[in-house]
Amino acid sequence: MSQMDISTRTDEGVWRSKPSFMTWRARDVVYVLRHHWIPCLFAAGFLFVVSVESSIKMVSDSSPPLDIGFVATRSLHRLLASSPDLNTGLAALNSVLGVMQVSYIALTWLIEGRPRATITALFLFTCRGVLGYCTQLPLSKEYLGSAIDFPLGNLSFFYFFSGHVAGTTIASLDMRRMQRWRLAMVFDILNVLQSIRLLATRGHYTIDLAGGVAAAILFDSLAGKYEANTRKRQL
């Protein structure tokens, strides 16, 4: 019997007289490396991150934030800064995507009678508002705004996390759930292009974009559990 089986039984409440690691054998290590290589990969990544985090030089308080996404989109930022019309055009296209994602999320409930995506959006944007108010980050000095950016009017906004990316991800997750694979792929591609534009205009930091994707996945899962629990109570 492999060590994975022993560990599972222990997690279910079987008491062992020895610590688990004292029962490990060479074949158990091989088994883990062969059948659980993804956690092993993340374990190696964890060790690498710990070594980097403990040795990297911190950004001084007199310097602007260091963002790899800003560095990667530096040339595009210069292009948009020198071409206001291009910046406005991309903002208009991005606003169209914003309207598309909001429309899709609302129509899945209003037309199809499936509220999960709408519940996800309500959970997510409420949380985003709370987090954004708790930690209000300063606007980047290189920010390139537009009066027709979504939401319209060049209004103030919270940095963390990206509502643009989160909303598009919510729609994409629902499309996959309904096996609308091609439409989901289109939204994913548009989300990537949107992310590049947001970085180039300094509208969001890289962590905001990653946080938007993670938040969409988290709250979609929570909305699914809410629906399941609601159905159970109704039985």
**Catalytic site residues?**
164, 204, 208
* 87 close to 77: Cβ distance less than 8 angstroms: no
Query: Which residue, 95, 196, 222, 101, is CA-closest to 152?
Result: 95
Residue 151 neighbours by CB distance under 10 Å: 11
Query: Which residue, 127, 153, 156, is CA-closest to 143?
Result: 156
C-alpha dihedral over 150, 154, 157, 162, to 10 degrees?
Answer: 30
Compute the residue count for the chain. Answer: 235
* 158 close to 132: Cβ distance less than 8 angstroms: yes
- Rounded CA gap, 19 and 13, in Å? 14
Residue 146: alpha-carbon gap to chain centroid: 24
* 118 close to 109: Cβ distance less than 8 angstroms: yes
Residues 6 or more apart in contact with residue 86 via CB below 8 angstroms: 79, 80
